Structures are given as structure tokens and as C-alpha cells.
């Protein structure tokens, strides 16, 4: 087998730095590629201000100093230094952290504002610099989201004179087209590019601005998004967020590859954060998890009343408004209880908090980012809400399936590709799927679930279907390997 040299460039990597699915996806794919024998090196920022936990300490052992440089990105007229720290993970890939205190000292991963452009421009520069310092020639430079979208441009420029990169190919994965890295045009000259023109938008009706993702899409050798259905969606004006025209031009470079789940980390039978473990074959522990969830979130002790869960960034994308409209009648009638864990847009947080005040014991809102509570919700809930307006892939519905919580999803993107509507007579399907992004659609999907819940054997079948579905990275990684090998001109092989 020819082992591939793969450079991953990312803003997030679980559990070291995570706000959402990007972190899980890059960590899961990288681990599986490394397990297949490939040389995977991940470059990410060293976020000095992030809280360290036992998990993050265990996940990365920082060791050697791999080199240093001075930032090609200008900050207040200077070019501050950065170091590259090398560490090993318990899952295989080697991690390099860009340690640049002038850029990455905040207490959060994303800081907003114009500084964000400078920070993530440095990430791409530092990643390619690392290859030069190591004399390491990647076959594939795999860039994730807008934060790494400068790398394909830099790689193309380097290839004109740097033999190390002669055979390298760039892949840009669009995890979320709703976040493009758009900044004032005046920043273009500060980002360390010999020719900043490709970074600037040129549309006649638009005020010129820097758009990282657009530039990356134009420059990358291959483009992926995180589910087959979403790969078709982004070609349409409804989902393309202004980039659909460019994506249609480059559609022969675009492929949709469904995300996977790292079942060594997401398994109710071994998850050390749960009060009691369980599996599809021995479900008793799930009731213990539900009691604990009720206790921890302040829901009333109740007998045969299902608990609906939701773990989500509080952003318009996630259909929070639909939840706020559709859920209260079910809660008021006592047909179900619900708990939402999430952080994000303050108006959503306030509305959810208000609902919790109105319906104590029936509805709980936990405004936090907590891996432990998230997992307790997957395990302790009976059904799980993912009513997204758009969803490139979505991981929470896959975690819910694994943990035996029946997903209630809108028929879009990766939700379409991972959940099918339950047919009680045939015994097929894994969740409740609604089409229209309106209150009626979600209400219907919730009432379907509440109806099935009353039929013990149908419910067991439905839950079992979900728990035994396989969305592992072992299934999905070969699709990336096929793409990588095609780009690298290496014939397809067994693993
Ligand atoms: P997105 O990346 O769009 O946020 P995904 O479904 O792909 O959506 O991934 C979300 C990830 O973030 C999941 O692992 C989910 O459990 C996690 N998550 C979201 N909000 C929270 C939170 N408040 N606390 C803990 N984990 C969260
Ligand atoms: C994005 C998307 C989500 C996807 C995740 C990981 O944040 O919103 O659908 O699962 O990236 O690819």
C-alpha cells in the first residue's frame, strides 16, 4: 500500500478545541486515516486562553519544537513571530500547533472582528511553512472551511518555485457555507499574499470585500462538502449563499462525502461520562440516564412521559424558531418534556430561558457548552430535535441514533442522508422526518414520535434500528482515500 502524506489544516480539533461538528469531523477522519497507515499531520492554532481539561491534557502530549518563523501577516504594522509545537495524540495523527501569542491569546476559538482574517491567514501560512521546515512533501493539503481557505491559493503560488510542493494537491472541505470569512477589502494587502486580487469579490452589485471561502473554492484542486445531498444543494441559489454560481462552474471538482462517527468515542456501552452504560442488546441503563438527566436539568420525575433533547449551537441555521413555536403546546399538554443545551445568539437564549421560566419541570434550558451534559442528553432523552433550516451533514442526529434517542429531523442535507421516516407496519426507518420548515411540519413530526412512543413494540423496533445503523468513519474514509489517490495519481488500493 502506498502511504499518503496528508496535511490537515483546521481551526478546530476534538477534544482540543471544539465549538461544533468541524472539530469532531477532522479528528475522526484524521484518526481513521492514521489507523489505515497514512502519515497524517494536523496543523491548528494553539489557543492559549482555552480552558484545559483532563480530556484535552490526555488527548495531546506536546513535545518537540518543530520550528519558528515570522508572520507574513501584518499585525499593527509588524510581523510577530510564531512557533510550531509538535505533539502526539492518542489516536495516531501528529498535531502541530501554531503558537502565536499576538494572534491566538483570546479565551475563545473565534474572536470575531477583522482580527479574525489575520489570525486564520496566519494559520495557512504557518501550515505550509511547517512542511518546508520539515522537508515534508504532502500529497494532499486538506483544508477545512474558510479558516483554511487561503492555503490552496498559497499552495498554487508556492508551486511556481518550491519543488517540495510540486506534487501536492489541495482539497477544500466546505463544512458550512454560511460562514465564508468575509472582511473589508482593505485587509487584503495585510494577509501576506504576493497577489491579493483573488481574495477580493468582483461582483458588480457587491461592495468589494475579502471572501476567504470564495477564494479557496476558486483555487482548490478538489472541493468536498459533508454529505451527498448537500453537495447538490450548494449548487442552488437557495442553499449556495451567493457561492452557487462559482460552485456550478466548478461542479466537476465537487463531491459530497458523508461524515462519519468515531464509535470508539461515541458508544453508550463504554462512554465514561454516562451514569450507566447500555447497548442495543441491553437497554436498561438508558432509563438510569433518563432519571439522571431529569435530575440534573430540573425536569420533574415522570413515568411514561418521553423526554425530547436538543444539543445545538443557537443559530438561525438550527431551526431554533421552529422549536420555540412548535414545542410549547406539547409541553403544556404534558405529552412530553424537553431539555435544550446550547450557546449562541442571545435572542434565542433569552426566548429559551423564558420558556423554561414559564414551564418549570416540563422544559429546561442549559445555556452552556458541556460535553458531559451533551452526552447525558443523547443518552437520557427518548427523542432528539434537529429541525435545521439547512444542515450540511449534522452529527448530533447520528450521535442520537447511536445512543437510542429517536431523531426528529427536517428533510435537508445530511439529515436526509442519515435518517429515514419510520414505517411502523414495515418496521423500517430510524426517525421522524418532516419536509417544510414551518411550525406545522415540526409539530407533525413530534406528534408522530409521541404516537410511536405509546406502542411499546414499535418503539423498541424504531430505537433498535437507529442504534444498529452504521455511520462509522470506517465506512466513510475510503471515499476520501479514493479522492486523494485520484488527485495524487496513485492507483486505488485495498484500504
Ligand atoms: P454544527 O457543526 O453545525 O454545530 P453538528 O451537528 O455537525 O453541527 O455538530 C455539533 C457538535 O457540537 C456535536 O458534537 C454536538 O454535540 C456539539 N455541541 C453543540 N452544542 C454544544 C453544547 N452546548 N455543549 C456541548 N456540545 C455541543
Ligand atoms: C458544519 C455543519 C454540520 C457538519 C459539521 C461537520 O458545522 O453545520 O452540518 O456536520 O460542519 O462537518
25 CB within 6 A, ligand 2: yes
430/263 Cα distance (integer angstroms): 18
Question: What domains are there in the chain, each with its CATH number?
Answer: 5-262+474-488 (3.40.50.2000), 284-470 (3.40.50.2000)
**Residues in CB range of 227: below 8 A, 6 or more apart:** 256, 257, 258, 259, 392, 393, 413, 414, 416, 417, 418
Q: What is the pLDDT along the chain (495 residues), one digit of tens a residue?
A: 689 999 999 999 999 999 999 999 999 999 999 999 999 999 999 999 998 888 888 888 887 888 999 999 988 889 999 999 999 888 889 999 999 999 999 899 999 999 999 999 999 999 999 999 999 999 999 999 999 999 999 999 999 899 999 999 999 999 999 999 999 999 999 999 999 999 998 766 667 899 999 999 999 999 999 999 999 999 999 999 999 999 999 999 999 999 999 999 999 999 999 999 999 999 999 999 999 999 999 999 988 999 999 999 999 999 999 999 999 999 999 999 999 999 999 999 999 999 999 999 999 999 999 999 999 999 999 999 999 999 999 999 999 999 999 999 999 999 999 999 999 999 999 999 999 999 999 999 999 999 999 999 999 999 999 999 999 999 999 999 999 999 999 765 544
Q: Which atom of ligand 2 is nearest to the CA of 317?
A: 8
Query: DSSP strand E in 240-298: where?
Result: 254-256
Q: Is 325 exposed, middle or buried (0-12, 13-18, 19+ CB in 10 A)?
A: middle
* Ligand 1 site-directed mutation target among 176, 312, 392, 397, most atoms within 8 Å of CB: 312
20 CB within 6 A, ligand 1: yes
Side-chain half-sphere of 44: how many Cα atoms within 13 Å? 29
Determine what percent of the chain falls in helix, strand and coil, rounding each to the nearest 5: 40, 20, 40
226 CB within 6 A, ligand 2: yes
Residue 117: all three cell numbers together: 482574517
Residue 137: all three cell numbers together: 512533501
432 CB within 6 A, ligand 1: no
Among the bound ligands, the one closest to the CA of 265: 1
Block residue for cell numbers 424537553: 338
26 CB within 6 A, ligand 1: no
What is the whole-number distance in angstroms between the Cα of residue 67 and the centre of ligand 2? Answer: 32
pTM above 0.85, yes or no: yes
* Ligand 1 site-directed mutation target among 53, 396, 398, most atoms within 8 Å of CB: 396
Amino acid at each position: 500500500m502506498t502511504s499518503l502524506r496528508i496535511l490537515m489544516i483546521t481551526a478546530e480539533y476534538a477534544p482540543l478545541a471544539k465549538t461544533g461538528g468541524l472539530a469532531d469531523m477532522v479528528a475522526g477522519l484524521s484518526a481513521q486515516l492514521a489507523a489505515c497507515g497514512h502519515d497524517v499531520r494536523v496543523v491548528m492554532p494553539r489557543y492559549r486562553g482555552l480552558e484545559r481539561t483532563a480530556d484535552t491534557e490526555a488527548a495531546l502530549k506536546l513535545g518537540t519544537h518543530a520550528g519558528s518563523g515570522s508572520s507574513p501577516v501584518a499585525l499593527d504594522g509588524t510581523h510577530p513571530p510564531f512557533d510550531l509545537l509538535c505533539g502526539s495524540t492518542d489516536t495516531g495523527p501528529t498535531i502541530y500547533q501554531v503558537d502565536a501569542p499576538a494572534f491566538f491569546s483570546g479565551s475563545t476559538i473565534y474572536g470575531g472582528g477583522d482580527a479574525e482574517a489575520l489570525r486564520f491567514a496566519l494559520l495557512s501560512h504557518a501550515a505550509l511553512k511547517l512542511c518546508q521546515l520539515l522537508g515534508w512533501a504532502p500529497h494532499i493539503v486538506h483544508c477545512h472551511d474558510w479558516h483554511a481557505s487561503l492555503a490552496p491559493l498559497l499552495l498554487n503560488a508556492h508551486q511556481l518555485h518550491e519543488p517540495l510542493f510540486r506534487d501536492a494537491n489541495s482539497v477544500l472541505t466546505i463544512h458550512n457555507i454560511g460562514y465564508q470569512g468575509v472582511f473589508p477589502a482593505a485587509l487584503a494587502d495585510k494577509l501576506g499574499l504576493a497577489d491579493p486580487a483573488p481574495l477580493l469579490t468582483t461582483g458588480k452589485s457587491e461592495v468589494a470585500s475579502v471572501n476567504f471561502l470564495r477564494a479557496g473554492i476558486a483555487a482548490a484542486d478538489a472541493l468536498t462538502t459533508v454529505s451527498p445531498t448537500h453537495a447538490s444543494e450548494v449548487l442552488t441559489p437557495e442553499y449556495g449563499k451567493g457561492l452557487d454560481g462559482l460552485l456550478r462552474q466548478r461542479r466537476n471538482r465537487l463531491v459530497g462525502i458523508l461524515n462519519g462517527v468515531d464509535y470508539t468515542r461515541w458508544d453508550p456501552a463504554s462512554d465514561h461520562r454516562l451514569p450507566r452504560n447500555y447497548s442495543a442488546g441491553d437497554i436498561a441503563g438508558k432509563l438510569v440516564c433518563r432519571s439522571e438527566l431529569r435530575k440534573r436539568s430540573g425536569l420533574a420525575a415522570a413515568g411514561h412521559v418521553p423526554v425530547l433533547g436538543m444539543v445545538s449551537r443557537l443559530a438561525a441555521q438550527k431551526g431554533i424558531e421552529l422549536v420555540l413555536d412548535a414545542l410549547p403546546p406539547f409541553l403544556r399538554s404534558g405529552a412530553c418534556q424537553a431539555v435544550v443545551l446550547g450557546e449562541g445568539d442571545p435572542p434565542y437564549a433569552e426566548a429559551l430561558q423564558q420558556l423554561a421560566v414559564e414551564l418549570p419541570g416540563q422544559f429546561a434550558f442549559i445555556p452552556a457548552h458541556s460535553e458531559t451534559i451533551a452526552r447525558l442528553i443523547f443518552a437520557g432523552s427518548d427523542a432528539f430535535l434537529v429541525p435545521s433550516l439547512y444542515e450540511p451533514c449534522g452529527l448530533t442526529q447520528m450521535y442520537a441514533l447511536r445512543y437510542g434517542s429517536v431523531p426528529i429531523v427536517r428533510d435537508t442535507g445530511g439529515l436526509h442522508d442519515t435518517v429515514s421516516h419510520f414505517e411502523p407496519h414495515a418496521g423500517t426507518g430510524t426517525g421522524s422526518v418532516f419536509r417544510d420548515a414551518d411550525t406545522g411540519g415540526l409539530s407533525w413530526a413530534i406528534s408522530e414520535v409521541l404516537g410511536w412512543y405509546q406502542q411499546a413494540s414499535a418503539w423498541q423496533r424504531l430505537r433498535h434500528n437507529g442504534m444498529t445503523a452504521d455511520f462509522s468513519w470506517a465506512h466513510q474514509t475510503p471515499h476520501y482515500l479514493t479522492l486523494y489517490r485520484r488527485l495524487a495519481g496513485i492507483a486505488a488500493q485495498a484500504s
